[in-house]
A = this chain, B = another copy of it.
């Protein structure tokens, strides 16, 4: 049989990525089975950055994948969903016109499509595509963290009901194989915790604020110019992109359904150079950190907040659009997974790995691994019950008594103060409104919130306080 990549200009044959070999095939009553000698068809829903990256990766490395996976898997792209036929043909001349479609049903229902790759993003059409694929017993490969975080409960239930898997390596941390690591490699571990930098846009912005002293707005503008941030960067800077990914990690590790409504998320929009400098001087780096930690009795801490972490911690060395996830398993111990968290090729790398796995699953049997959720017991620990030290910045009217008043409220709530600082702005030493920073000892976040509510009511306070957690990551 032929091996390797054979681009076909002819419209009568599909481009094929031959992974070599025939296979005897297996039929099973409960699952959609693919008979022997047939090449598996990929339905690529979405042909933008990542979709093109998948095409390119399969084209470039098709014969290598073929060699490595010897034994019975062949793949080809059978259908591609695009938004605009003419534009798609103009952008990628390799894709034969007869496999392009603007109708997602035509893709999902096409008998030539065995595996559906969902790359259009969003939670509406993407939901319909994934659900329809599962109902047709076609395994799904997706990179859509928002979809799975917000509508995962329904989709995972459908996946279980149809005994058809959803693969989502590409949804978390780009090219870093964190999903497969947690699902498979760490299957024998209780996961004590994850600490992660899992949004490259916000990490890039914080890095530029740190290295070049840029304001948040200027750093965001720079990121947008470089293509590291979207025109609408909301999910990246408000922390919800990281939160979606964290929900998926926690679901895998702890097994119970998690709703976005249960978790605490705050982003980096309020971060100022003054905070970054303060952190630096104290030996900290500022990161948007995802923290997932098991407590007793099935309670799981899950929060995304801007945080100070020790400069000596390895996570402080994660720069630019790189991501990293530190995982602590009870058998494996501490580990760290670092790499490119986004981008065309890294994301395509993960999609391709899932395609190969989906293909093997079709050739062999269903239920390659358990379905989600796998536990009934489990809850998200209310963020009010999570404790760290804090950096809090107040915007105050400068007059005598401000520190005393704020300190009085904190004392009433039994919150310890480890330091205060009210830097003078040399270019405006008599400013009416100044920043005042309080460093607070470890206490539960709920107690802090109560105190801050009272403090905000003081007449010297001009706007909502900005809170950073000071993490002791060990």
Q: Which residues of A contact B (CB under 8 A)?
A: 23-24, 26, 28, 30, 53, 57-58, 60-61, 64-65, 67-72, 169, 174-177, 180-181, 183-190, 255, 314, 317, 329-340, 343, 345-346, 348-350, 352-353, 356-357, 360, 363-365, 367-371, 374-375
Contacts and interface: CB of A to CB of B under 8 A. Distances in A.
Given A360-B368, A363-B365, A67 B189 contact: no
Given A188-B57, A336-B338, A70 B371 contact: yes
Contact of A185 (B331, B332, B348, B353): B353
Given A175-B329, A345-B332, A356 B69 contact: no
Contacts of A60: 190, 330
Nearest to A352: B188
A330 B61 contact: yes
Given A314-B314, A317-B314, A71 B185 contact: no
A353 B124 CA distance: 36
A206 to B, nearest CB: 19
A69 B64 CA distance: 30
Given A333-B345, A333-B346, A345-B331, A187 B374 contact: no
A335 B178 CA distance: 12
Nearest to A373: B67
Contact of A180 (B61, B180, B352): B180
B184 A181 contact: no
For the complex of A and B, the 7 pairs showing the least CB-CB separation, nearest first, are A335-B339, A188-B352, A70-B370, A177-B185, A175-B332, A331-B349, A71-B367
Given A67-B255, A70-B367, A184-B357, 15 more contacts: A26-B28, A57-B188, A61-B330, A70-B374, A72-B367, A177-B181, A177-B184, A181-B181, A184-B353, A187-B352, A330-B345, A331-B345, A331-B348, A333-B339, A363-B365
A262 to B, nearest CB: 21
Contacts of A68: 183, 187, 255, 369-370, 374
A187 B70 contact: no
Given A317-B317, A330-B61, A349-B189, A335 B175 contact: yes
Contacts of A64: 190
Contacts of A346: 331-333
A375 B177 CA distance: 25
Contacts of A183: 68
Interface centre among A71, A332, A339, A367 (most CB of B within 10 A): A332
B67 A374 contact: yes
Contacts of A353: 184-188
B349 A340 contact: no
A61 B188 contact: yes
A420 B181 CA distance: 47
Given A68-B255, A353-B186, A333 B338 contact: no
A176 B331 CA distance: 11
A369 B60 CA distance: 21
Contacts of A175: 329, 331-333, 335
Contacts of A331: 53, 57, 61, 175, 345-346, 348-349, 352
Contact of A67 (B71, B174, B329, B375): B375
27 contacts: A26-B365, A58-B188, A61-B190, A68-B183, A68-B187, A71-B367, A71-B370, A72-B367, A169-B185, A175-B329, A176-B332, A176-B335, A177-B180, A187-B353, A188-B349, A188-B356, A189-B349, A331-B348, A332-B346, A332-B349, A333-B340, A333-B343, A335-B337, A335-B339, A338-B338, A364-B365, A364-B368
